[in-house]
A and B are shown apart, each in its own frame.
Chain A
Amino acid sequence: MTTVEDSVRTMPARAMPARTSVLERVLRAREISIVLALALLVLVTAIGHPSFVHSQSIRDILLGAAILGVLAVGQTIVVITRNIDLSVGSVLGLSAFAAGTLLMNHPGMPIIVAVLVGIAVGAGCGLVNGLLVRFGDVPALVVTLGTLYAYRGVAYLWAGGSQINADELPDGFLKFGTATVLGVPYLVLIAVAVLVVAGVVLRSYPAGRQLYALGSSPDGARLAGIPVGRRTLAAFLASGTLAGLAGVLFAARFGTVDAAAGNGYELNVVAAVVVGGVAIFGGSGSVWGAALGALLLTTIGSALPVLGVDQFWQQAIVGALILLAIGIDRLIAARVAAALKKRGSHVR
């Protein structure tokens, strides 16, 4: 990462209109290219197999993308601060099991209580991650790699081999997973709401901008008076909370929850975020891109079996996409740096 890129990332929007426009064009290009890839994929699949654009299969894709998207929004918030949260899959599993167990044992309980408990479990897990990163001085990679296994282990200690089945859950909860408003599932509406709130906060509120600043240059952010420790903690708290929410959505959608729920999700989430153009070293990217990345990955997952590609290819494709995305980011970063240098010398 060169200093040129760093300075571009932290630059306030109004101060340097010429420079930001270059950056904005690049970012927009990323989002547009995902949309194009998505459209192409849907088109190719739909031409061969018209049933792919049937409302049922679109709904399935949207439901899957909603859960992955909520996780990706949380992950984006953390990655922007130059950290990473690998524990989200395990947090999802723990929260899904907590909400499910609660509803199974107290069928008469209002659903919102279970939802809140699931979210609280996620927030607790995120808080532990954040505290360890902030006060323990331990890199986020190590902390969340450790808690990835620790939280999963807790889920296994708690659940053992038991499984919560759909018929043990109250109907109201399951309906919450499938019900729609004007044809749009609740789950998707919730995910969109999360996306819009996070997008607006990151784009237009001081707290959001400070996350970008501290991801671009932690030292610079500290000198600028940004409470780096508190913001980092808040980012992990947000990621954990959203993973908790995703766990509840998971339980509502599938109705079947065991200790392995969400196993390996962290790979898809990181892939969605990276494919969506969020730089793994912090300071750039948007939740919109990450959400599009989640949608693209989910669509690929649904399109492969329709296209007759072996389902076993899916994980390999996820891996290849991660490598492709970070490779492209590298290329673009180098180009932008070169373009800025040129522009800078021209102005002077």
Chain B
Amino acid sequence: MSADSDRPAATATATAAAATADSLADAAPPAGGGRAGPPAAGRGARQGPGAQLGRLASWDLGVVVLAVLVIVVASASVENFGTSRNFTFLVLDLLPIALIALPMTFVIVTGEIDLSVASTLGLSSAVMGSLWNHGMTIETIIPLCIVLGAVLGAVNGLFVTVFRLPSLAVTIGTLALFRGLALVVLGDTAVADFPAQYTNWVTGTVGGSAVPNVLIPLAALAVVFAVVLHATPVGRWAFAAGASEQAARFAGIRVGRLKFWLYVVTGAVAGLAGVLWTLRYSSARADNGSGLELAVVAAVLLGGVSIFGGRGTLPGVLGGVVLLAALQNAMRLSDVSNESLNVVTGALLVVSVLVPNLIRRTRAAVSRARHRRPTPLSPPLPGS
């Protein structure tokens, strides 16, 4: 597979293996910061912070600009898109995707993947409905569902880190397993009579404004995840592990433990998303959120995170989430059916990986052509 294209970056970080964990992690982001740029670490030189920032910004900025552009164009051309009511719906629609995309960014940055998140959401929703039917109070059920998500995430983490199985295969398996368990728990029935106090809070807005209540916890979580990823050792470990797992190990980072806990957090957040999903639609069903893993992975990759790990930023991912949600919302308002929307999501997923690859390849070709020209300082290459 094309994982080979990352080899130069990996070897470059491997040479830095003797360095401390921190300086290694420092070296990791520029290796991938600019997805669209040429593999920088291949040259072994470390650029200044300014250059780093510029590269980091390029793809992310593009996504954010594109998201704003979509919103502006849609507000002008799509009826009802610019209304405050639609803004509320837009935020509610992107809530589960944005929530799960936060930990998913970490997982993909470390070079792994979790395709089971939508099934975790479904199982959390099904269990919530079942416990409610059994007369448990909602205040007990909600934390239980989040813990359940964490346990499901731990199952993934166990298979990936302790048994060392490929995360793709493991999470395809748990995708089927968790969704299957959701069906076992609730069958094809739905539970609907959740307390209005809670369902109203999820769908409600802050004091009559257009800002939905759920935006506040979402924004808080986004800030926490962004700070952890970009300003703490944990984030640096994640980048280091994704850039070169072996080098990260040599540098003393406990990669296995890090990945295990990332899966646990991902599961817990997916469990929370299941609770919010259930309350939003006031309906607990086993098939809630099925197929959502595509939208999450699409948003994360669209936001500039490399599927091979080691590069990406959280603001970019949030830009990707907004872009995806705004596009879908605008199309839905233009009477495109939900199922047909999948064409757009699927195509965006492919394009978000394809375009940077093509740009990188073109740039590499251009720079090769430039290097071939003899310069006064360097002797002409033999044979040229």
Mutual binders A and B: yes
A243 at the interface (CB under 8 A from B): no
Q: Which residues of chain A come closer than 8 Å to B175, judged between CB atoms?
A: 267, 319
B233 at the interface (CB under 8 A from A): no
Known interface pairs A137-B2, A153-B343; A312-B183 also in contact (CB < 8 Å): yes
* Closest chain A residue to B113, Cβ basis: A141
| B180 & A316 in contact (Cβ 8 Å cutoff) | yes
Interface residues of A in 290-328 (CB under 8 A from B): 310, 312-320, 322-323, 326-327
Q: Choose from A146, A219, A319 the contact partner of B174 (Cβ within 8 Å).
A: A319
The 23 sampled A-B contact pairs (Cβ below 8 Å) are A133-B2, A138-B357, A139-B1, A139-B307, A145-B294, A146-B347, A146-B350, A148-B346, A149-B294, A149-B345, A150-B343, A150-B350, A153-B341, A156-B340, A270-B172, A281-B166, A312-B188, A318-B176, A319-B179, A319-B180, A322-B177, A326-B165, A327-B163
Q: Which residues of chain B come closer than 8 Å to A157, judged between CB atoms?
A: 340, 343
* Closest chain A residue to B344, Cβ basis: A153
Q: Which residues of chain A come closer than 8 Å to B297, judged between CB atoms?
A: 142, 145
Q: Which residues of chain B come closer than 8 Å to A319, judged between CB atoms?
A: 173-180
| A320 & B350 in contact (Cβ 8 Å cutoff) | no
| B183 & A322 in contact (Cβ 8 Å cutoff) | no
| A150 & B347 in contact (Cβ 8 Å cutoff) | yes
* Closest chain A residue to B291, Cβ basis: A149
Q: Choose from B1, B168, B343, B350 the contact partner of A132 (Cβ within 8 Å).
A: B350
Q: Which residues of chain A come closer than 8 Å to B176, judged between CB atoms?
A: 267, 271, 315-316, 318-319, 322
A60 CA / B47 CA spacing, docked (Å): 65
A146 CA / B349 CA spacing, docked (Å): 6
| A138 & B2 in contact (Cβ 8 Å cutoff) | yes
Q: Which residues of chain A come closer than 8 Å to B178, judged between CB atoms?
A: 319
* Closest chain B residue to A334, Cβ basis: B164
- State the A residues within 8 Å of B (CB): 82-84, 132-133, 136-143, 145-154, 156-157, 160, 218-219, 259, 267, 270-271, 274, 280-281, 310, 312-320, 322-323, 326-327, 330
Interface SS of chain A:
helix
Q: Choose from A139, A150, A312 the contact partner of B180 (Cβ within 8 Å).
A: A312
| A280 & B354 in contact (Cβ 8 Å cutoff) | no
Interface residues of B in 148-182 (CB under 8 A from A): 159, 163-166, 168-170, 172-181
B15 at the interface (CB under 8 A from A): no
A274 CA / B184 CA spacing, docked (Å): 24
A318 CA / B176 CA spacing, docked (Å): 7
B190 at the interface (CB under 8 A from A): no
Known interface pairs A312-B187, A323-B159, A330-B165; A218-B177 also in contact (CB < 8 Å): no
A139 CA / B181 CA spacing, docked (Å): 30
B354 to chain A, nearest CB (A): 4
B178 to chain A, nearest CB (A): 7
Q: Which residues of chain B come closer than 8 Å to A148, judged between CB atoms?
A: 294, 346
A151 CA / B347 CA spacing, docked (Å): 10
A137 CA / B286 CA spacing, docked (Å): 37
Q: Which residues of chain A come closer than 8 Å to B345, judged between CB atoms?
A: 149, 153
* Closest chain A residue to B5, Cβ basis: A137
| A314 & B2 in contact (Cβ 8 Å cutoff) | no
Q: Which residues of chain B come closer than 8 Å to A313, judged between CB atoms?
A: 180, 183-184
| A142 & B349 in contact (Cβ 8 Å cutoff) | yes
A207 CA / B378 CA spacing, docked (Å): 46
Known interface pairs A146-B298, A148-B346, A319-B175; A136-B165 also in contact (CB < 8 Å): no
Q: Which residues of chain A come closer than 8 Å to B354, judged between CB atoms?
A: 132, 136-138
| B164 & A153 in contact (Cβ 8 Å cutoff) | no
* Closest chain B residue to A268, Cβ basis: B176
Q: Which residues of chain B come closer than 8 Å to A270, judged between CB atoms?
A: 172
Known interface pairs A280-B169, A281-B166, A319-B178; A149-B343 also in contact (CB < 8 Å): yes
B4 at the interface (CB under 8 A from A): yes
B77 at the interface (CB under 8 A from A): no
B61 at the interface (CB under 8 A from A): no
* Closest chain B residue to A161, Cβ basis: B337
| B180 & A317 in contact (Cβ 8 Å cutoff) | yes
B241 at the interface (CB under 8 A from A): no
A160 CA / B181 CA spacing, docked (Å): 31
B85 at the interface (CB under 8 A from A): no
Q: Choose from B159, B184, B339, B342 the contact partner of A316 (Cβ within 8 Å).
A: B184
B353 at the interface (CB under 8 A from A): yes
A270 CA / B1 CA spacing, docked (Å): 18
| B346 & A150 in contact (Cβ 8 Å cutoff) | yes
